[in-house]
Homo-oligomer: A and B are copies of this chain.
Amino acid sequence: MQVEIIEVGPRDGLQREKTFIPTDQKITLIQKLVEAGLRRIQVTSFVHPKAVPQMADAEQVCAGLSHVEGVVYSGLVLNLKGLERARNAGLNDVDVSISASDSHSRQNANMSLADAQTHFHEMVARAREYGLTIRGGIQCAFGYYENDVTDDLVIELARQHLALGLDELALADSTGMANPAQVARLLAKIIPMAEGKPVILHLHDTRGMGLANVVAALEAGCCHFDTAFGGLGGCNFIEKATGNIATEDTVYMLHAMGYQTGVDIAKVAEVSKMMESLLGKQSLPGKMYQLLG
């Protein structure tokens, strides 16, 4: 069975790294990920450069992307201005999301959940007007520190997202709090609601449960996962946030279990080694790239 791996390393992986990666190196990074077989790559986010300095070169990165048959590049947008920027930069795929946690929404987006929903509807309407492919996400779908996220709330937000006619629904465990029983429980409700539209799981390995959650999700019928090379990543506005599940580790497990991904682990591991060095780090959180490197 085929599982889709969506590489979010160039965006989520780099966003809170203080060492600025030069634009040409970012373009090389993305090119190498394409060469490793990845067919969907989240390349940047269109946010204010003061909020996320690493993403200040979003337009220049997009301008340097090479067209490869079958490869889809997407950009994260947080507001209407970001949406215009992504469109002007030539991207056809945008990732738009809100947080299920009112308190996280206030901290991260400076908006209540209710205001974020209104704003989200406006963004989706505009993106549809432009004919963009829209992935609509729910951040903190598995919990936040304030305990203000319930299953019922997430299911209701998913229902509202899907009613807007999004192309895909993404559930993000931004805090790394999801556990396998919860993943199984929520996906069992939400995947049928999506009526065949892809439901993507975005996991962080903050508490070591990342791949355990992948297994629970596979059993619940999910076959789309966000991952980041070397396990880099983490939200700038979540305390003690750590990296995404590592592309290499996830793909190694999937292949061992008999799934296909089309991803060449050794080539992704080379990317991680390169970035480890560019970022001046002793190691990244991923495990497999260290064994292969």
Which A positions have Cβ atoms within 8 angstroms of B? 179-182, 205-212, 214-216, 240, 242, 246, 249, 252-253, 256-258, 286-288, 291
Contacts and interface: CB of A to CB of B under 8 A. Distances in A.
A215 B208 CA distance: 12
Stoichiometry, as copies per complex, reads: 2
Given A215-B216, A216-B215, A291-B240, A209 B253 contact: yes
A214 B256 CA distance: 16
A208 B254 CA distance: 12
B180 A215 contact: yes
B288 A207 contact: yes
Given A240-B291, A253-B180, A208 B211 contact: yes
Contacts of A287: 205-208, 242
Contact of A181 (B181, B206, B246, B257): B257
Contacts of A179: 253, 256-257
A168 B208 CA distance: 28
A39 B210 CA distance: 28
Nearest to A214: B212
A287 B253 CA distance: 20
